[in-house]
Chain A
Amino acid sequence: MTPPLVEVRHLRRVFDVSPPFLNRLIERAPKQFLKAVDDVSFDIARGETFALVGESGSGKSTVARMVVGLLEPTAGEVTIDGVKMTGRAPAEDRRRVRRRMQMIFQDPYASLNPRWRVDRIVAEPIRAFGLIQGEAAIRERVGELLGLVGLHPDDGVKYPHEFSGGQRQRIAIARALASDAEFIVCDEPTSALDVSVQAQILNLMRDLQDRLGLTYLFISHNLAVVRHMASRIGVMYLGRVVEIGEGRGLFTGPKHPYTRMLLDAVPDLAHIGRRREPVRGEIPNPINPPSGCTFNPRCPYANDRCRAEIPPFLESVACHGYHERRIPTGPVELLVPDGMAALPA
């Protein structure tokens, strides 16, 4: 069996959100820490799309930034293609791996330098890693890359502002592919785009994956997009992965109550005129998260153990209720038991 391309183990990131020193002194305010990511582990196999979904503040983007190395983890490690990216691996090895991973950001208006022409933007990774020698050869490669993402090779002489949002995201994809990347981290790549343009970009990403054997880490808050793109999905809540599911299995048999709640909350084309059961509560403040399972204040199945003990990640879910077999299986509608439905929305 081939080892996974990416291994993430016990990743943790704590941000210091303390008030300024003087305030701490005068108001005797304690230091405050925000655990953005806590004990996150997963693998990504070669050629697959692994998605992380969650609501804002769940830590999915922080994980993405740690995987590509834009952010140093507080603890835990990321291993890519056998090279530990967080430890003391030889710089040479890390550089070799870095070249083969790239990132695509959410906002194509912010991720492209407005003062550079497109051909210079796309050629930057080629020059940075010294992959191709000679201007003519670089120009030819850039034209090829632009063609690959559905733009015209002559578009290289234009500036980013001359393109629409979808076209800019194509440029960002071309730049990601310029260093022959195999592993691409996509942080909400289509959230800023209209649906018809989103469809174009998602289709392009799948086609490129089929053609070039790419591996994606796909970050999104949109469950329908994730369902369409991912072969495996991790659901995050307040900095932890609460469930990892195989593609569509997650949607037909969600295990964690939060996953069920999330699936139930998504407005979908298939639910015309649905009378929904209101979802309860909101994400708590991550600076002062609930003890035990962080979902327990919103969970209809929570008991004393859930409030005291952090659930281990077993059978691809972190939920005491599931491990103890006391959560009824069956349709998601069972989530809000009778009597609770009367709560105000």
Chain B
Amino acid sequence: MTPPLLQVRDLTVEFATRRGVLRALDRVSFDIGRGEVLGVVGESGAGKSVTGSAVIGLIDRPGRIAGGEILLDGRRIDNLPPEEMRKVRGKRIGMIFQDPLTSLNPLYRIGDQLVETIRTHTDLSASAARRRAIDLLAEVGIPAPEKRIDGYPHQFSGGMRQRVVIALALSAEPELIIADEPTTALDVSVQAQIITVLKRLCRDHGTAVMLVTHDMGVIAETADRVAVMYAGRVIEIGNVADVVQNPLHPYAKGLMGAIPTLTGQERRLAQIPGSMPRLSAIPPGCPFNPRCPHAYAPCPTIRPDLTNYDRHPVACHLYDPAYAPEGVAA
């Protein structure tokens, strides 16, 4: 059997600061299959962006991968020398960031940027690379691509720029794209267009996507599976319908209830007391226990691990028969 495209095993990322070592990711594990869209959600400080940066090898000092491993196609990539990693990045793993203006060079025509990327990763001639760049721009829905290819980034609107960035990420036909808040800076109607483009292209090209966002609506419409993060850990992971409609972890339940929707009837939103702990003060045991309405004996001391008790993996003692013989709390 072939291994999943991406395997992340017990990934731990630490940042050394003057006030001590902060653990941004704490034994994070997940897989992404070929052509699969994995949504990674959480609130600010949950560690979603750090996870994306770690996979693509962009953790800079003072941060470092302190433990665990990342495997692409069964081969470790977290310990590759920088030169080797450069070849993986862009060629096998593409990246889309939140702000398209920062990922495009304002001084170069977008065509030059596309051609450069294509020629770095393939052995196409300059003219063939240009033809491919025009095809890519057409594919992401940019009108008159043979003209727009000679434009500069500032001549494009926000939505059009993000399309260029998607074209850039797809230019070397990567197997995996990491999209970090790709639609957060855009208006809703443009956001809908970008989601559609991203979904269609990844389906057509068989590209897997790790979609990092705080917007559960985007995840619900786009992802196949979703991982919910809290305080540097994955606390629940499963099919998007399961996690959105029947979340298991008390934090995931609170989070889904807190989101106002276009269809719900409830007058008050569910409310989780308190806020995400700082990295310097993550509670021992389950990091959610001080805010959890169901916390009991083992929660403040024993760390729950991601375990598949019932429907899908969750890191919560409430579902562990060893601690809670009476079963699942409401």
- Do the beta carbons of A227 and B262 come within 8 Å of each other? yes
Q: Are A274 and B200 in contact (CB under 8 A)?
A: no
Contact between B193 and A345 (Cβ–Cβ < 8 Å)?
Answer: yes
B189 and A265 form a contact (CB under 8 A): yes
Chain A residue, CB-CB nearest to B219? A267
- Asked if B270 and A199 make an inter-chain contact with CB atoms under 8 angstroms apart, the answer reads yes
Q: Is the CB of B259 within 8 A of A269?
A: yes
A270 touches B189 (CB 8 A): no
Residues of A within 8 A of B244 (CB): 269, 272
Bits for B259-295, please: 1 = Cβ < 8 Å to A, else 0. Answer: 1111100011111100110000000000000000000
Q: How far is the CB of B139 from chain A (nearest CB, A)?
A: 9
Query: Which partner residue on chain A sits nearest B218 by CB separation?
Result: A267
- With A221-B187, A265-B189, A279-B193 known as contacts, the answer to whether A227 contacts B275 (CB < 8 A) is no
Q: How far is the CB of B50 from chain A (nearest CB, A)?
A: 16
Nearest to B187 among chain A residues (CB) is: A55
Cα separation A278 to B141 with both chains bound (whole Å): 11
Question: How many A-B contacts at CB < 8 Å in the complex?
Answer: 139
Supposing A56-B187, A268-B261 touch, asked if A196 and B216 sit within 8 A by C-beta, the answer is no
B300 contacts the other chain (CB 8 A): no
Would B216 and A195 count as touching, CB distance under 8 A? yes
Nearest chain-A residue to B275 (Cβ)?
Answer: A164
Which B residue sits closest to A343, measured CB to CB?
Answer: B141
Taking the complex as formed, is B308 at the interface, i.e. its CB lies under 8 A from any CB of chain A?
no
Q: Do residues A224 and B259 form an inter-chain contact, with CB atoms below 8 A?
A: yes
Which of B43, B262, B270, B276 is within 8 Å of A268, CB to CB? B262
**C-alpha spacing A202/B244, complex, angstroms:** 22
A202-B267 Cα distance, complex, nearest whole Å: 11
Q: What chain A residues lie within 8 Å of B257 (beta carbons)?
A: 199
Per-position binary interface string of chain B over residues 119-160, scored 1 when its CB falls under 8 Å from any chain A CB and 0 otherwise: 000000000000000000010010100000000000001011
Query: Are A199 and B258 in contact, CB atoms less than 8 angstroms apart?
Result: yes
B188–A223 contact, CB under 8 A? yes
Could you say which residues of chain A place their CB within 8 Å of the CB of B193? 278-279, 345
Knowing A194-B43, A195-B214, say if A272 contacts B240 (CB, 8 Å). yes
Q: A266-B262, A269-B261, A270-B263 are in contact. Are A196 and B272 (CB under 8 A)?
A: yes
A108 to chain B, nearest CB (A): 13
The reply to whether the CB of B98 lies closer than 8 angstroms to some CB of chain A is: no
* Chain A residues, Cβ within 8 Å of B192: 264-267, 276, 278-279
B254 within 8 A of A: yes
Interface residue? B196 (CB, 8 A)? yes
The minimal Cβ–Cβ distance linking B255 to chain A, given in whole angstroms, is: 6
Across-interface contacts of B222 in A (CB, < 8 A): 267
Verify if B195 is at the interface (C-beta below 8 Å from A): yes
Shortest distance between the CB of A234 and any CB in chain B (Å): 17
**Contact between B220 and A267, CB atoms less than 8 A apart:** yes
A interface bracket (residues with beta carbon within 8 Å of B): 35 or more
- A195-B258, A345-B197 given; A262·B220 CB < 8 A: no
Closest to A204 in B: B271
> B residues 76-105 with Cβ under 8 Å of A?
none
A166 with B275: in contact, given A223-B188, A272-B240 (CB under 8 Å)? yes
A196-B255 contact in complex given A55-B188, A267-B220, A344-B141, C-beta closer than 8 Å: yes
Chief secondary structure at chain B's binding surface: helix
* Complex CA distance for A203 and B268, rounded to whole angstroms: 6
Say yes or no: A194 contacts B276, CB within 8 Å: yes
The answer to whether A276 and B221 touch (CB under 8 A), given A196-B275, A203-B268, is: yes
Give per-residue flags for B175-213: 1 if the beta carbon is below 8 A from chain A beta carbons, else 0: 000000000000111111101110010000000000000
Of B216, B254, B267, the residue contacting A269 (CB under 8 A) is B216
Q: Is A273 an interface residue (CB 8 A)?
A: yes
Minimum Cβ distance to chain A for residue B162 (Å): 12
Given contacts A194-B276, A262-B188, A272-B220, whether A203 and B259 have CB atoms under 8 Å apart is no
Nearest chain A CB to B65 CB, angstrom units: 26
Specify which chain A residues have a CB less than 8 angstroms from the CB of B269 in the assembled complex. 199, 202-203, 228
Q: Which residue of B lies closest to A267 (CB)?
A: B217
Q: Are B141 and A283 in contact (CB under 8 A)?
A: no
Are B272 and A269 interface neighbours, CB within 8 A? no
**How far apart sit A202 and B187, CA to CA, in the bound complex (Å)?**
22
- Interchain CB contact under 8 A, A269 and B220: yes
Which single residue of chain B is at the shortest CB-CB distance from A285?
Answer: B157
Most buried by A among B138, B222, B259: B259
Encode A172-188 as 1/0 by CB contact (under 8 A) with B. 00000000000000000
A residues near B270, Cβ cutoff 8 Å: 199
A200 CB–B CB distance under 8 Å = yes
User: If the complex has contacts A267-B215, A267-B220, A268-B220, are A282 and B263 also in contact, measured as CB distance less than 8 A?
Assistant: no
Is A211 located at the chain interface by the 8 A CB criterion?
no
Closest-CB distance, A341 to chain B (whole angstroms): 11
CB 8 Å contact bits of A66-80 with B (1 = contact, 0 = none)? 000000000000000
Beyond contacts A224-B259, A262-B188: 9 other A-B pairs, Cβ-Cβ < 8 A, are A195-B258, A196-B271, A263-B262, A264-B192, A266-B217, A267-B220, A267-B222, A273-B221, A282-B190
What are 15 residue pairs bridging A and B, where the CB atoms are less than 8 Å apart in the complex?
Answer: A194-B275, A195-B255, A195-B259, A222-B260, A223-B262, A228-B269, A264-B192, A268-B221, A271-B220, A273-B220, A279-B189, A279-B192, A282-B160, A345-B141, A345-B197
